């Protein structure tokens, strides 16, 4: 939508006119019925949080908190599955997604990123309910864990947008001990991501090797165990080869961030530094 484009524009040419346009768009989007990161309030409220970090102007903090209140109020109990979720109205139908692409995990990420500005009771409520939902909906064996794309679904992917890697990318910054079962599931999700190996869809962030590799960087950041950084760097080497092969195969590069080579470049930089700053989510 407009907010991402305007935010890039403001970063390059920081004028009041552009800032005002971003502010209007954030406020206009707080009731968006999609209730997900790509189209809805979770994404635009994160833009407000970035603008507050850039400028220190209180109107951005207020806009962020206004969207938080709206979003938290829409977190509802699903009686069939006995857990709290958001319902997404997307493409003319209602869905309940769990992952980072359109679902619960990214929504909670946008809330948790502003934890310093939240009432502690609200932060604890959202994180505890999210943890309970993820524990209840996980498919688990003694070593691995994954989540379906949608609540009660049978489609299990292993990507950033849907599945364990994206859950980890969004939830790994949760404090330890919010839910000890979730603590274990994050590690098991990382093991599944490693077992699945690099993705055949390419080197990109959304549904490619770099996005999955960020799960290892997040777990390294969470646990400080070198194994996770080593795994991230192994995925990075494979992703470089994928990039080279696809450039030769298709006769062109891919210039987008989420599905192209720019996202890979950021991932490689983070692998070199041992950081886990997922672009447009952790940093902008």
Q: What is the pLDDT of residues 75-101, one digit of tens each?
A: 999 999 999 999 999 988 999 999 999
Q: What is the pLDDT of residues 28-65, one digit of tens each?
A: 999 999 999 999 999 999 999 999 999 999 999 999 99
- What is the reported pLDDT for 198? 98
Q: What is the pLDDT of residues 185-214, one digit of tens each?
A: 999 999 999 999 999 999 999 999 999 999
Give the pLDDT mean for 273-279.
98
- What is the reported pLDDT for 1? 82
% the chain with pLDDT above 90:
98
Q: What is the pLDDT confidence band of residue 141, given thresholds at 50, 70 and 90? A: very high
- Domains of the chain, by residue range, sit at 1-74, 77-108+138-196, 199-284
Half-sphere exposure of 166 toward its Cβ, with a 13 Å CA cutoff? 29
- What is the reported pLDDT for 58? 98
- This prediction has a pTM of 0.96
Give the pLDDT mean for 3-28.
98
% the chain with pLDDT above 70:
100
Q: What is the pLDDT confidence band of residue 10, given thresholds at 50, 70 and 90? A: very high
- Mean pLDDT over each residue of the chain, to the nearest integer: 97
């Amino acid at each position: 939508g407009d907010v991402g484009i305007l935010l890039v524009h403001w970063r390059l040419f920081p004028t009041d006119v552009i800032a005002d346009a971003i502010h209007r768009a954030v406020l206009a989007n707080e009731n968006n019925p999609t209730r997900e990161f790509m189209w809805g309030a979770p994404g635009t409220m994160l833009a407000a949080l970035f603008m507050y970090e850039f400028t220190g102007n209180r109107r951005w903090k207020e806009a962020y908190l206004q969207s938080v209140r709206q979003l938290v109020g829409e977190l509802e109990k699903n009686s069939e599955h006995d857990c709290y979720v958001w319902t997404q109205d997307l493409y003319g139908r209602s869905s309940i997604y769990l992952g980072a692409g359109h679902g619960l995990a990214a929504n909670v990420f946008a809330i948790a990123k502003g934890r310093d500005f939240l009432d502690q009771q609200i932060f604890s409520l959202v994180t505890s309910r999210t943890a309970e939902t993820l524990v209840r909906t996980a498919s688990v064996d003694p070593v691995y864990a994954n989540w379906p794309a949608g609540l009660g679904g049978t489609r299990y992917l292993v990507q950033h947008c849907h599945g364990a890697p994206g859950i980890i990318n969004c939830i790994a910054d949760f404090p330890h001990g919010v839910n000890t079962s979730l603590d274990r599931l994050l590690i098991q999700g990382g093991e599944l991501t490693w077992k699945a190996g690099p993705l055949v869809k390419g080197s990109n962030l959304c549904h490619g090797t770099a996005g999955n590799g960020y799960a290892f960087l997040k777990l390294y950041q969470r646990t400080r165990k070198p194994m996770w950084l080593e795994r991230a760097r192994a995925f990075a080497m494979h992703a470089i080869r994928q990039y080279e092969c696809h450039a030769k195969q298709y006769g062109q590069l891919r210039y987008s961030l989420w599905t192209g080579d720019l996202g890979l470049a950021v991932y490689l930089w983070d692998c070199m530094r041992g950081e886990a700053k997922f672009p447009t989510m952790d940093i902008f």
